[in-house]
Amino acid sequence: MSEDLICSDFCEERGFARSAELLRAVGRGRTVYVVMERGAEYNDEIMRPDLSGAPKWAFLERAEAEKAAADRNARWHRENNILEYCYQLKDVTPHPAAELSRRISEILGRPFELPDEDDFDPTGEPLVDGPVTDEQMRKIAELFTLKFFYVVETTFSEPEPALPIGDGSSHAEDNR
């Protein structure tokens, strides 16, 4: 029996049914959807996003994982300014500044103007200030291609069996 299945029994005995279900899925080679978190590093000019990410949460349903990632991206945008993560707007969105301002204004139901692209001075303040609902933040986050939370699909399998001791050239050598 795999370690995942043993751990799943332990989780279930302790009342963690969802964790037990995930571990059983992993142990049986089912597809799991993992929400990854992208990090970033300051490079004396901007925050440079990592190309990879770290796993944060696992789900059995893609829709559930996508919703969790979208919610976390919305929260990220509520607390951060994406302009601190790019040299040019096209690095983080397919929309030109005027179109992006128009779309954000439409989502907010009030005027919103992006700073001049030549004036992306990092302020440490979120891009969108003032009262913003969670749903509005989700829609604003969808306007950007740079995602700090994203979903990967993976299937876990049993590890390959270990090779026997010795090279197999001598039965006597293997049985020492």
Return the percent helix, strand and coil in the chain, to nearest 5. Answer: 45, 20, 40
Every domain of the chain and the residues it spans: 1-30, 35-155
pTM of the model: 0.73
Q: Flag residues of the chain having pLDDT under 50.
A: 1, 162, 166-176
pLDDT of residue 173: 44
DSSP state of 51: E
Are 148 and 38 within 8 A, CB to CB? yes
pLDDT tens column, 70-100: 999 999 999 999 988 888 889 899 999 999 9
Which residues neighbour 14 within 8 Å (Cβ) at sequence distance 6 or greater?
none
Backbone dihedral angles phi then psi of residue 34, each to the nearest 5 degrees = -110, 130
Give residue-wise pLDDT tens across range 23-34.
777 666 778 888
Longest dimension (CA), the chain: 83
DSSP 143: T
Contacts of 105 (CB under 8 A, 6+ apart): 111, 112
Q: How many CB atoms lie within 10 A of CB 10?
A: 13
Which residue from 37, 69, 71 is spatially nearest to 54, judged by alpha carbons? Answer: 37
Contacts for 38 with CB less than 8 Å, ≥ 6 apart: 49, 50, 52, 53, 147, 148, 149, 150
Q: Are 96 and 89 in contact (CB under 8 A)?
A: yes
Beta pairing partners, 58: 34
